[in-house]
């Protein structure tokens, strides 16, 4: 989690994302700000923390329960008392909440832990953000898993219908953050939905896209079946981090829900092709089979099941 203060105005534009990152402009502010980045040890969290650290005018604190290191402080995010003390002591203007149990299979195996982290922690942060004494803007990172994949593309006002437990917990977190009881309260509460992520990570297994690099380079003879049914929109975490920096520069109220997504559709099967060419691995080294209807049947019963496409439509216009 990051805490930030910023009062300058800037420009927000949608950033095209593809399998190779494009540079995005950053506008610097002369106003010092403070920000908590909660979940600073994850793939997105690390990118967000680094982006704010690189900016002038920000005082940033990173929080993580797992893999704290250096300036990243170890805190149990599920401890409401600890979260309250952190907020009261740092007095942030912004809290970027990236922490989550993002693995659908793990969430299904330990539902209480997933529900606590994905829904109850955001509820606590939303309540704290509306404090009369120390309000702040809360950005809750959510997911395209809140949709069923039957009516893409999904706008910000589309009705969620998650197909798995992970999606249900993230939707519960959204509802907690956007609770109507906060409408007349101080502070801002924003949900930012993003699709599958990739980018710099401590381990390739931290990302559903990065891990495909390990599969490509696996010369053990093991065969993998690649999903050629569900369309994903891989989005670089560095682009999202820079978008969040620009977002905090806006001196205006934000809409309650935002979408940020890459624009290029891929199945996992299709992601493998440029990876194979990049690493100069023969196609025979990886089984790129496409089982068709059998895969659809498995997808419907898997903990990570989703519809054929959950593409997000931002509806966000670029304005000064």
Cis peptide before 214 (omega within 30 of 0): no
> Are 93 and 69 a contacting pair, CB within 8 Å?
no
* DSSP codes, 112-166: HHHHIIIIIHHHHHHHHHT-SSS--EEEEEEEGGGS-SSSPSBPTTSPP--SSHH
Catalytic residue among 166, 182, 233, 266: 166
Dihedral of CA atoms 307, 197, 34, 252 in degrees, nearest 10, equals: -50
The yes-or-no answer on residue 166 being catalytic is yes
User: For residues 137 and 95, what is the distance between their CA atoms, to the nearest angstrom?
Assistant: 6
Q: Is 301 left (phi over 0), alpha (psi -120 to 50) or beta?
A: alpha
Helices 121-129 and 80-90: crossing angle in degrees, nearest 10, is: 30
Alpha-helical (H) ranges within the chain are: 43-53, 80-90, 104-109, 111-115, 121-129, 165-177, 211-216, 237-249, 268-278, 293-301
> What are residue 156's phi and psi, to 5 degrees?
-65, -20
CA distance 214 to 121: 33
Instruction: Please give the helix or strand (H or E) that residue 35 lies within, else none.
Output: strand 33-38
The first and second tokens of residue 232, run together, are 């994903």
Question: How far is it, in rounded angstroms, from Cα 65 to Cα 119?
Answer: 16
Residues identified as active-site: 166
């Amino acid at each position: 989690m990051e805490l930030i203060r910023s009062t300058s105005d800037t420009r927000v534009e949608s950033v095209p994302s593809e399998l190779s990152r494009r540079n995005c402009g950053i506008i610097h502010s002369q106003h010092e700000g403070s920000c908590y980045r909660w979940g600073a040890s994850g793939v997105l969290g690390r990118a967000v923390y680094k982006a704010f650290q690189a900016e002038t005018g920000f005082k940033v604190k990173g929080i993580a329960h797992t893999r704290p290191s250096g300036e990243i402080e170890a805190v149990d995010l599920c401890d409401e008392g600890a979260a309250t003390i952190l907020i009261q002591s740092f007095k942030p203007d912004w809290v970027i909440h990236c922490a989550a149990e993002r693995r659908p299979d793990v969430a299904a195996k330990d539902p209480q832990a997933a529900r606590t982290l994905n829904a109850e922690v955001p509820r606590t942060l939303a309540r704290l953000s509306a404090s009369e004494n120390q309000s702040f803007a809360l950005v809750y990172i959510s997911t395209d898993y809140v949709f069923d994949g039957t009516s893409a593309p999904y706008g910000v006002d589309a009705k969620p219908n998650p197909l798995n437990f992970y999606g249900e917990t993230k939707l519960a977190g959204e509802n907690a953050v956007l609770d109507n009881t906060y409408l007349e309260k101080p502070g801002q509460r924003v949900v930012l939905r993003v699709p599958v992520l990739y980018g710099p990570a401590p381990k390739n297994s931290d990302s559903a896209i990065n891990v495909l690099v390990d599969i490509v380079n696996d010369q053990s003879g093991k065969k993998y079946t690649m999903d050629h049914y569900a369309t994903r929109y891989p989005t670089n975490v560095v682009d999202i981090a820079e978008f969040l920096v620009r977002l905090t520069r806006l001196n205006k109220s934000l809409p309650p829900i935002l979408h940020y997504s890459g624009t290029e559709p891929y199945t996992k099967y299709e992601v493998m092709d440029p990876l194979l060419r990049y690493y100069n691995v023969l196609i025979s080294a990886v089984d790129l089979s496409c089982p068709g209807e059998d895969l659809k049947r498995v997808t419907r019963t898997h903990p990570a099941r989703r519809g054929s496409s959950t593409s997000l439509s931002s509806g966000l216009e670029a304005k000064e």
